[in-house]
């Protein structure tokens, strides 16, 4: 009798756990958070019946990840010409930050899925992996194009250093400051990109090392 009662108690406990697991996943929005929760449950739930349910959850999350890949691709196409950029970031750093955020959104879950032989061997896996590679390549290319354009613009911005800093207007004869704002923009971009771990070309480093001098000079000219 005690053994029967024990089994009934275990079955009831499993049902409660099952309900708790299902309820927990219902309130999770992102793929990354779903995977994090799943891994936590896997580390503490070892009974076969519960493990089988967690495996099925992994398959569902992987399927939803395929949907998210499509959403990220659509979002990229919609926003690539005018992405939402933080006010405190200059254009190049802002665009690269935006694309990196999208890449991170799909890259971190894929790193987890690659360790799961069960989902990677499904018939849908090939399609999802192919889509991931396509979207990831697009985002990496987007970053490279912005970085390449910035590198090519550096020498043009440095031409401003050769300009006459005080000029006299030909009509009214008044003196005006002729400091090229692209120099300050170049410095700002270089600092942001450096913090992001992006290589800064030598010709930009030369300007960056003189940041305080340029800022002081700019302030004095406008005094």
Q: What gap in Å lies between CA 86 and CA 65, rounded to an integer? A: 27
Q: How far is CA 150 from the centre of its chain?
A: 20
* Domain regions of the chain by residue span: 2-221
Quote the pLDDT of residue 45. Answer: 58
Quote the pLDDT of residue 25. Answer: 54
Regarding pTM above 0.85, the answer is no
Note down pLDDT in tens along the chain; length 223 residues: 655 554 454 455 555 555 555 555 555 567 777 776 666 666 555 555 566 666 777 788 888 899 999 999 999 999 999 999 999 999 999 999 999 999 999 999 999 888 888 888 888 899 999 999 999 999 999 999 999 999 998 877 766 555 555 555 667 666 555 555 777 788 889 999 999 999 999 988 887 887 776 666 666 555 5
Coil/strand/helix, residue 175: strand
Which pairs from 103-107 meet CB under 8 Å and 24+ separation?
103/136, 103/139, 103/140, 105/32, 105/68, 105/72, 106/65, 106/68, 106/69, 106/72, 106/132, 106/135, 106/136, 107/136
Q: What gap in Å lies between CA 128 and CA 47, rounded to an integer? A: 30
Quote the pLDDT of residue 140. Answer: 98
Quote the pLDDT of residue 9. Answer: 47
138 CB-near residues (< 8 Å, 6+ apart): 73, 76
Quote the pLDDT of residue 155. Answer: 79
Which tokens belong to 77? 């196409």
Quote the pLDDT of residue 134. Answer: 97
């Amino acid at each position: 009798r005690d053994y029967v009662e024990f089994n009934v108690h275990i079955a009831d406990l499993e049902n409660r756990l099952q309900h708790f697991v299902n309820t927990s996943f219902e309130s999770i929005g992102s793929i990354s958070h779903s995977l994090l929760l799943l891994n936590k449950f896997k580390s503490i739930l070892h009974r076969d019946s519960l493990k089988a349910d967690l495996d099925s959850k992994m398959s569902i999350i992987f399927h939803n990840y395929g949907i998210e890949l499509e959403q990220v691709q659509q979002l990229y196409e919609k926003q690539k010409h005018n992405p939402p950029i933080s006010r405190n970031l200059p254009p190049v750093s802002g665009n690269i930050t935006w694309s990196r955020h999208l890449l991170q959104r799909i890259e971190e879950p894929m790193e987890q899925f690659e360790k799961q032989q069960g989902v990677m061997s499904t018939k849908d896996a090939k399609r999802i992996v192919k889509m991931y590679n396509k979207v990831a390549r697009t985002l990496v290319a987007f970053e490279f194009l912005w970085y390449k354009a910035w590198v090519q613009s550096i020498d043009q911005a440095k031409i401003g250093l050769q300009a006459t800093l005080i000029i006299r207007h030909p009509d009214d004869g008044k003196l005006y400051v002729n400091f090229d704002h692209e120099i300050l923009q170049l410095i700002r971009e270089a600092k942001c990109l450096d913090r992001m771990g992006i290589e800064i070309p030598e010709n930009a480093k030369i300007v960056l090392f003189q940041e305080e001098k340029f800022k002081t000079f700019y302030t004095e000219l406008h005094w």
